[in-house]
Structure 1
Amino acid sequence: MVPFFGGKILSEIRPQDVEAFRGQRRKKNGNPASVQTVNHDHIALKHCLNVAIRRGLLQSNPASKVPMPNPENERDRVLSDEEWSKLYQAAKPHLRPVLLTAYQLGQRFSEIVGLTWDRVDIKRGFITLRSLDTKTKTARQVPMTPDVKMTLQRLAKVRTLTTATTEAVSRHVFTYEGKPLQRVSRSFKTALKDAGISDFRFHDLRHCASTNLRRAGVDTATAMKIVGHKSEKMWKRYNAIEERDLTQAAQKVHKYLQENTRGTLAENIATYSANKRT
């Protein structure tokens, strides 16, 4: 809020300024904020202006005159099985593991690029997200699908080979030219264009993951636990979910994707490797 309102005098802030602020947050290049996030910012702004009113610095609250849309009315764009196959094939090698993790596990972009190897247990098949890693500030255990597990095993092997030849090796799981990934907006946009896919954002991969979990028959509470969607009421139910339930969920979505997607990830990787050698 400070960059937008910092140079304004309180009495000069108008409802249209609040609307412009909301619009700017929603149109931010590369990582636009969700409706829910913008609503939280809006509430914080409204609170600050109410404090100004109580202190006699302002007569009325312009933020109160701007409605906040229901986040439940947000877009819910998901990829068809054919679109996903095209997107994965069109993506550059460093982007593919990122897309796969988002598509099959529903992790947020920040959770993916911030992931370090000390929180990856390949043998057990789980990724640990600490409370400070998640948007909801709630720690969670994410079960790997077989495809994700195989991909991380491959990345770990590459990292081991790199360690033998250089001293500087990133702690981060997802890297580009040896450095932690921070942005993929350009390569993601290129992959979308090459795959012929429109009206799709990186964050929509979370919707894809949720939809695939539901279609695979994973119960709602377990699915929400995996992708990190929760309400206070639902969270009480999450606590009863055991590790074996999460592992079973990962196996279910893997089976669903194998039956409904053209070619397995292993086949796609083999094809890609063969093409690269030729």
Structure 2
Amino acid sequence: MPGVRRSIRRRSWSDHKSPSSIDHCDKLGKSIGKAYTEEEKLRMLEQAKMAESPHIHPAIMLALNAGIRDAEPKQLTWDQINLKRGYLPVGKSKTEAGEGRTTPLNSALAETMSECADWYRDRFASI
């Protein structure tokens, strides 16, 4: 976990300009964030896999692959994630239009969530 935090902090404070970094701006031209490069994503995922908590890697995979807002993964339950069909519906959302939409799981995210579900079943007998 400390490595993940360091990676995120380094990215936030870095002046590093990469051709694959995208600077997102609001209507006034004020920077509101940058997209992670593929190298940065891989480094975060490697650190997450080594984290003490088994929840870090799935959380980062959701953040990087599901296209959902930062608060939405915190509200997910196992009942919502459909591993057989490969999607997750978003419940409560920041906007009314965002509620109830479904998000497909790409193969990497589906595999991670399946492994996480197996871990929960082994540990708690059900999910």
TM-score higher than 0.5 here?
A: yes
| Residue 36 of structure 2 corresponds to residue 79 of structure 1 | yes
The separation in 2 between residues aligned to 1:97 and 1:85, in whole angstroms, is 14
Q: What letter matches 1:136 in structure 2?
A: T
Which sections of structure 1, spanning at least 5 residues, go unmatched? 1-68, 172-278
Give the Å deviation of 1:153: 0.7
- In structure 2, the residue matched to 1:135 is 94
Change (3 A) 1:120 1:96: same
Q: Secondary structure at the match of 2:89?
A: strand
2:47 alignment partner AA: A
Cα deviation per residue 1:202-237 (whole Å; 9 max; x = unaligned)?
xxxxxxxxxxxxxxxxxxxxxxxxxxxxxxxxxxxx
The amino acid of 2:95's aligned partner reads T
Q: Which amino acid aligns with 1:83?
A: E
The offset of 1:148, in angstroms, is 0.7
Which structure shows the higher helix fraction?
Answer: 1
- Which amino acid in 1 is paired with 2:84? K
RMSD value, Cα:
2.1
Structure 2: tracts of 5 or more residues without a match: 1-25
The percentage of aligned residue pairs carrying the same residue is 25
Query: Is residue 67–residue 103 contact of structure 2 (8 Å, CA) maintained in 1?
Result: no
TM-score with structure 2 setting the length: 0.66
Q: How does 1:99-118 map to 2 (within 5 A)?
A: 99-118=60-79
Distance 1:128 1:160 in 2: 21
State the secondary structure of the residue aligned to 1:142: strand
Task: Write the mapping of 1:1-278 to structure 2, written as runs, cut at 5 A.
Answer: 70=27, 73-91=30-48, 92=51, 93-130=54-91, 133-137=92-96, 138-164=99-125
For 1:132-179, what per-residue CA distance to the aligned partner results, in whole angstroms no more than 9, with x for missing partners? Answer: x11112320000011110111111111111233xxxx7x6xxxxxxxx
Q: How much does 1:101 deviate?
A: 0.9
